[in-house]
């Protein structure tokens, strides 16, 4: 078995990090897609590039040279878009310091995406007799809910025996075997405008109604049941001396299971006006279904845990509230998530991966690809 080296992995990740790829800059995301496609084609993989649409970048499918049409294999899922805007490299350039490598998107998730492709590259180079074909999907819109890739994700998952997701590890290297489902809603309130001085009594404040509805929504949070709701953005009104005619809010909800998702979506979409002469309209619903630790996922984790022990580290799992594309596949094929690099600070200006995690995590990915059957 060829040994991964820290320097080689870090240099490859740096090349990807230094191409900025915010989701809303499709040309930049597609530029990195082109680079990844060229690298994969150069080491003998088959590639299929899917043109972007609706303001998003291209998607890329990288396939191992072995395997036959219709044969179920391993789907590896990565995304190349990040939350960091263009120009982020100016204030958070790639650098290595104190055992960490820093840069926009390095932890979430260019580091994990790169080491998975490197694992496939090594298998191809050594012409290993691997039991299952490997498909590595790179998407361009995960950070905003995967609107143009979800159908592709589910299609490829239906053709897979296993799914491995290269989202970053959590809390010291733990991988993810369950995630909460995610819902997004918009609340629109319509009131009645009036002069706030001379005719205040004639008005029906949309802002007041929204404030009441926010208290109801936040009251749905139930930590014991794993339910959280957050009104993350509000807007409304026109001037201080006008009773607000309109107000709006954006709501995020996280739920642990499909049954609770159904219950809570009904509660949120069923909101009724609290005050008189106002209307409340709720739009939205589930964005990502809940990802539960089903028996097939538990067995897949045990297999990965054994491989990690052979490599020399203890692998643990957890359930997290954050969503990923693994939410779309867990009910289709056994899915392991959080197989990317260890680190911290995702979505922040101190985002970093732990350099010492690169080789062990790359070796784990390689061993999964060559031992699953």
How long is the chain? 373
Instruction: Provide the mean pLDDT of the chain.
Output: 96
Give the C-alpha separation, 225 to 74, whole Å: 33
Model confidence pLDDT, tens digit, residues 165-218: 999 999 899 999 999 999 999 999 999 999 999 999 999 999 999 999 999 999
Is residue 128 scored above 80 in pLDDT? no
Q: Containing H/E element for 138?
A: strand 134-139
Buried b / exposed e over 236-267, threshold 16 CB at 10 Å, is bbeeeeebbbbbebebbbbbbbeebbeebbee
Question: Residue 284 pLDDT > 60, yes or no?
Answer: yes
pLDDT tens figures, 234-271 = 999 999 999 999 999 999 999 999 999 999 999 999 99
| Dihedral, CA of residue 219, residue 222, residue 228 and residue 233, to nearest 10 | 10
pLDDT at 344 exceeding the cut of 90: yes
Q: Which of 253, 240, 243 is nearest to 187 (CA)?
A: 253
Q: Quick count: other Cβ atoms within 10 Å of Cβ 47? A: 17
Q: Categorize the per-residue pLDDT at 1 as very low, low, confident or very high, splitting at 50, 70 and 90.
A: low
| Res. 2: pLDDT tops 70 | no
Under 8 Å between Cβ of 135 and 161: no
Helix ranges (H only) for 171-314 are 206-219, 258-269, 295-311
Q: What is the pLDDT of residues 72-93, one digit of tens each?
A: 999 999 999 999 999 999 999 9
pLDDT in tens, 220-238: 999 999 999 999 999 999 9
Assign 322 a pLDDT band (cuts: 50, 70, 90): confident
281 DSSP β-pair partners? 188
Residue 69 is predicted with a pLDDT of 81
Angle at 338 between CA 337 and CA 343, to 5 degrees: 175
For the entire predicted model, the pTM comes to: 0.91
Looking at the chain, the whole-number percentage of residues with pLDDT higher than 70 is 99
């Amino acid at each position: 078995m060829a040994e991964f080296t820290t320097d080689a992995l870090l240099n490859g990740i740096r090349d990807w990090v230094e191409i900025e790829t915010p989701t809303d800059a499709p040309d930049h995301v597609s530029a990195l897609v082109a680079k990844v496609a060229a690298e994969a084609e150069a080491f003998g993989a088959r590639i299929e590039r899917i043109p972007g649409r609706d303001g998003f970048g291209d998607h890329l499918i990288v396939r191992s040279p072995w395997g036959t049409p219709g044969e179920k294999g391993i789907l590896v899922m990565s995304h190349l878009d990040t939350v960091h805007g263009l120009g982020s490299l100016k204030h958070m350039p790639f650098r290595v310091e104190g055992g960490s490598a820093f840069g926009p998107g390095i932890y979430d998730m260019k580091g994990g995406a790169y080491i998975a492709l490197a694992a496939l590259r090594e298998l191809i180079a050594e012409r290993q007799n691997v039991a299952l074909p490997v498909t590595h999907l790179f998407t361009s819109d995960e950070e905003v809910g995967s609107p143009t890739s979800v159908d592709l994700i589910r299609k490829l998952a239906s053709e897979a025996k296993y799914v491995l997701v290269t989202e970053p590890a959590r809390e010291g290297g733990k991988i993810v075997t369950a995630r909460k489902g995610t819902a997004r809603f918009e609340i629109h309130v319509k009131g009645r405008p009036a002069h706030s001085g001379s005719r205040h009594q004639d008005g029906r404040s949309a802002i007041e109604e929204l404030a009441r509805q926010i208290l109801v929504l936040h009251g749905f949070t139930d930590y014991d049941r794993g339910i959280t709701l957050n009104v993350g953005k509000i807007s409304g009104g026109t001037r201080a001396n006008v009773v607000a005619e309109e107000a709006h809010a954006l709501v995020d909800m996280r739920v642990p299971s499909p049954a609770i998702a159904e219950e809570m979506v009904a509660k949120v979409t069923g909101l009724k006006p609290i005050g008189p002469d106002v209307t409340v309209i709720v739009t939205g619903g589930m964005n990502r279904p809940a990802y539960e630790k089903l028996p097939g996922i538990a067995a897949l984790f045990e297999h990965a845990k054994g491989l990690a022990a052979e490599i020399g580290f203890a692998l643990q799992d957890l359930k997290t509230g954050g969503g990923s594309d693994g939410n779309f596949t867990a009910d289709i094929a056994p899915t392991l998530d959080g197989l990317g690099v260890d680190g911290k600070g995702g979505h922040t200006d101190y985002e970093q991966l732990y350099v010492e995690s690169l080789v062990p995590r790359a070796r784990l990915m390689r061993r999964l690809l060559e031992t699953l059957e």
